[in-house]
């Protein structure tokens, strides 16, 4: 039995959990104090054109300017000269600094990188996604297969889509008639008309449209026919959800329920511990094995350990069983943590090719329910499997964790002895420089204790030799 659980009692953090029975299979956490810009629509101004990057930078009101690749610039923003030219125009002649553009945030700011922007807007409805200035885009969601795909194409052909616009039918559109799809399309067209009006009235930069909050997004994106109920533990959020459902999918109103029990909602369905596993570096597997997830600058590495797993009759069977379990858990953890980018998995070595193919197949099956686009390679002769996952939003770690101020994210710091010896060498170098009268050192207590007890004589000799006072 699939449910959506929405925990909004603590206003500082709203959590949406998707559970099947008592198994957590997807999670969305929003911290209202950290504003999310993804999918927001802004009117901005081009501040710099960079031919070397084939891109420009746009001031859309954020602290850091956004990055707009030339391939993401619609022809409607090209100069007359560029529009008349045959072939692909040069970026310097096509767009100019100071030009105003309506953009949508495709990727959030990360680290030192500004947000990735596009002028090809996509407006998500319940059943459809409208691309108002991208006629070549459109079609049917990749997830819809077989006969459903043909039926939806037929319904799509009967919709009244204005010229120059593209349309994608979402998974939720399966089984919907032309009338329902047209109703959703009309709503999106009204939204686009409002965008155009707002953009014409004010100079840039300003926010035109803000993406829905986490509750509305969850109902829009996850609330399908296989969801039996939606439980919400906050009266205010429950009423917001009811308003949204009554407008968009009135047939499902009876599935939205207010949770009033004294036992916390997530404890009732035993998902609190499963959520905590998404914050841990090491995740235990049922058979006794474990997966270890590490983040590096270039990729996410996942190591599979057999640990205490001893169920198989021989080493090959134990390795295969642990890897099969790990494939399911890896797919689940990538969804829960919302990890994106390149992922390298170090499976336990298996000698039999058939077992390797079985593990690859299991991983492919496990990622089928993922909303993000996932590409999976083959297990190499070194036992490594490469895969990539589309980054839908900032990962759970980026949203709720900070870099350790002590080790700056490395995970290790120098020992007291190593740091003390290094400081003694630097102290000697500084003391011997001409004109140095005094050297001040600020160190933690344990390092100071070691230096004063073990290196007092060395420091005294440096003072004597250089004539500088050490404090």
* pLDDT over 90 at 361, yes or no: yes
58-80 pLDDT, tens per residue? Answer: 999 888 899 999 999 988 888 88
For residue 162, the model assigns a pLDDT of 84
* pLDDT over 90 at 465, yes or no: no
- Mean residue pLDDT of the chain comes to 87
More confident residue, 313 or 336: 336
* pLDDT over 80 at 312, yes or no: no
* pLDDT over 70 at 311, yes or no: no
396-410 pLDDT, tens per residue? Answer: 887 778 888 888 878
Give the Å distances, CA to CA, from 421 to 406, 424, 447.
Answer: 19, 5, 10
Cis upstream peptide for 205 (omega within 30°) = yes
2-29+211-271 CATH: 3.30.420
**pTM, rounded to two decimals:** 0.77
For residue 310, the model assigns a pLDDT of 64
Residue 289 CA to residue 255 CA, distance in Å, equals 39
Residues 174, 150 contacting (CB under 8 angstroms): no
3-state DSSP assignment of residue 80 = helix
For residue 5, the model assigns a pLDDT of 92
Give the Å distances, CA to CA, from 173 to 40, 123, 133, 185, 203.
Answer: 23, 15, 22, 12, 37
Residues 259, 233 contacting (CB under 8 angstroms): yes
Residue 26 CA to residue 336 CA, distance in Å, equals 5
Q: Pairing mode, if any, of strands 206-209 and 227-232?
A: unpaired
Q: What are the structure tokens assigned to 464, written together?
A: 């004597």
Residues 232, 257 contacting (CB under 8 angstroms): yes
Torsion of CA 186, 189, 190, 195, to 10 degrees: 170
For 40-209, the fitting CATH number among 2.40.50.140, 3.40.50.300, 3.30.70.260, 1.10.1740.10 is: 2.40.50.140
Residues 162, 189 contacting (CB under 8 angstroms): yes
For residue 69, the model assigns a pLDDT of 93
Q: What are the structure tokens assigned to 459, written together?
A: 């420091």
Residue 183 CA to residue 123 CA, distance in Å, equals 15
Residue 234 CA to residue 10 CA, distance in Å, equals 9
Residues 141, 171 contacting (CB under 8 angstroms): yes
21-38 average pLDDT score: 82
Residues in a beta bridge with 49: 56
Best CA proximity match to 275, nearest among 7, 94, 33, 77: 7
Q: Look up residue 202 and give its DSSP letter.
A: S
Top-confidence range, 274-283, 308-317, 352-361:
352-361
Q: Calculate what percentage of the chain has a pLDDT beyond 70.
A: 99
**Fold adopted by 280-400:** Aminopeptidase (3.40.630)
Residue 102 CA to residue 206 CA, distance in Å, equals 10
Residues 72, 46 contacting (CB under 8 angstroms): no
Best CA proximity match to 22, nearest among 265, 365, 331: 265
Cβ-Cβ contacts under 8 Å for 102 (sequence gap 6 or more): 41, 42, 43, 44, 119, 121, 195, 199, 208
Residue 187 CA to residue 197 CA, distance in Å, equals 16
Residues 32, 14 contacting (CB under 8 angstroms): yes
Residues 108, 120 contacting (CB under 8 angstroms): no
Best CA proximity match to 144, nearest among 167, 125, 170: 170
Give the Å distances, CA to CA, from 452 to 420, 442, 448, 464.
Answer: 10, 13, 6, 16
Other beta carbons less than 10 A from residue 6's beta carbon: 24
Cβ-Cβ contacts under 8 Å for 374 (sequence gap 6 or more): 367, 387, 388, 389, 390
Q: Name which of 152-166, 254-268, 413-427 the model is least confident about.
A: 152-166
Domain ranges of the chain: 2-29+211-271, 40-209, 280-400, 416-470
For residue 309, the model assigns a pLDDT of 61
* pLDDT over 90 at 1, yes or no: no
| Angle ∠(434,452,406) on CA atoms, nearest 5 | 85
Superfamily for 416-470?
Answer: Ribonuclease E, catalytic domain (3.40.1260.20)
3-state DSSP assignment of residue 269 = coil
Residues in a beta bridge with 28: 16
Residue 5 CA to residue 27 CA, distance in Å, equals 10
* pLDDT over 90 at 363, yes or no: yes
**Predicted confidence band of residue 231 (pLDDT cuts 50, 70, 90):** very high
Residues 226, 166 contacting (CB under 8 angstroms): no
Residues 355, 315 contacting (CB under 8 angstroms): no
351 φ, ψ (degrees, to nearest 5): -80, -30
Residues in a beta bridge with 301: 294, 344
Q: Name which of 221-225, 356-360, 361-365, 419-423 the model is least confident about.
A: 221-225
Cβ-Cβ contacts under 8 Å for 96 (sequence gap 6 or more): 46, 49, 79
């Amino acid at each position: 039995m699939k449910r959506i659980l929405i925990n909004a009692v603590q206003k500082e953090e709203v959590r949406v959990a998707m559970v099947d029975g008592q198994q957590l299979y997807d999670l969305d956490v929003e911290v209202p104090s950290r504003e999310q810009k993804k999918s927001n629509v802004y009117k901005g101004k081009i501040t710099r054109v960079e031919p070397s990057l084939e891109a420009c930078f746009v001031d859309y009101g954020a602290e850091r300017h956004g990055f707009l690749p030339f391939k993401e610039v619609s022809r409607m923003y090209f100069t007359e000269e560029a529009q008349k030219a045959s072939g692909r125009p040069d970026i310097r002649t096509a767009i100019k600094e100071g030009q105003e553009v309506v953009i949508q945030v495709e990727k959030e700011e990360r680290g030192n990188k500004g947000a990735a922007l596009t002028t090809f807007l996509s407006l998500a409805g319940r059943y459809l996604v409208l691309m108002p200035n991208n006629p070549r885009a459109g079609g049917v969601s990749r997830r819809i297969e077989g006969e459903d795909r043909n039926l939806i194409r037929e319904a799509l052909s009967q919709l009244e889509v204005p010229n120059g616009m593209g349309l994608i039918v979402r998974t939720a559109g399966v089984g919907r008639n032309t009338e329902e799809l047209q109703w959703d399309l009309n709503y999106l067209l009204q939204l686009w008309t409002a965008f155009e009006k707002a953009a014409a009235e004010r100079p840039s930069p300003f926010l035109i449209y803000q993406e829905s909050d986490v509750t509305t997004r969850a109902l829009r994106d996850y609330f399908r026919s296989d969801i039996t109920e939606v439980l919400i533990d906050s009266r205010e959020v429950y009423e917001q959800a009811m308003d949204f459902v009554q407008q968009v999918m009135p047939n499902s109103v009876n599935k939205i329920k207010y949770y009033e029990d004294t036992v916390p909602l997530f404890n009732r369905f035993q998902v609190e511990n499963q959520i905590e596993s998404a914050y841990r570096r090491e995740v235990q597997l049922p058979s006794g094995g474990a997966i270890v997830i590490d983040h590096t600058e270039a990729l996410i590495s996942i190591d599979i350990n057999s640990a205490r797993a001893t169920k198989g009759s021989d080493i090959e069977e134990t390795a295969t069983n642990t890897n099969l379990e790990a494939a399911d858990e890896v797919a689940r953890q990538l969804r829960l943590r919302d990890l994106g980018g390149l992922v390298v998995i170090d499976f336990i070595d298996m000698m039999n090719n058939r077992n390797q193919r079985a593990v690859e197949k299991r991983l492919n099956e496990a990622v089928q329910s993922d909303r993000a686009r996932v590409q999976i390679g083959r297990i190499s002769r070194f036992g490594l499997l490469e895969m990539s996952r589309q980054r839908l939003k900032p990962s759970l770690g980026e949203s709720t964790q900070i870099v350790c101020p002590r080790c700056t994210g490395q995970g290790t710091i120098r020992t007291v002895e190593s740091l003390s010896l290094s400081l003694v060498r630097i102290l000697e170098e500084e003391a011997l420089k001409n004109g140095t009268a005094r050297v001040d050192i600020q160190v933690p207590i344990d390092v100071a204790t070691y230096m004063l007890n073990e290196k007092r004589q060395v420091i005294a000799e440096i003072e004597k030799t250089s004539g500088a006072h050490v404090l």
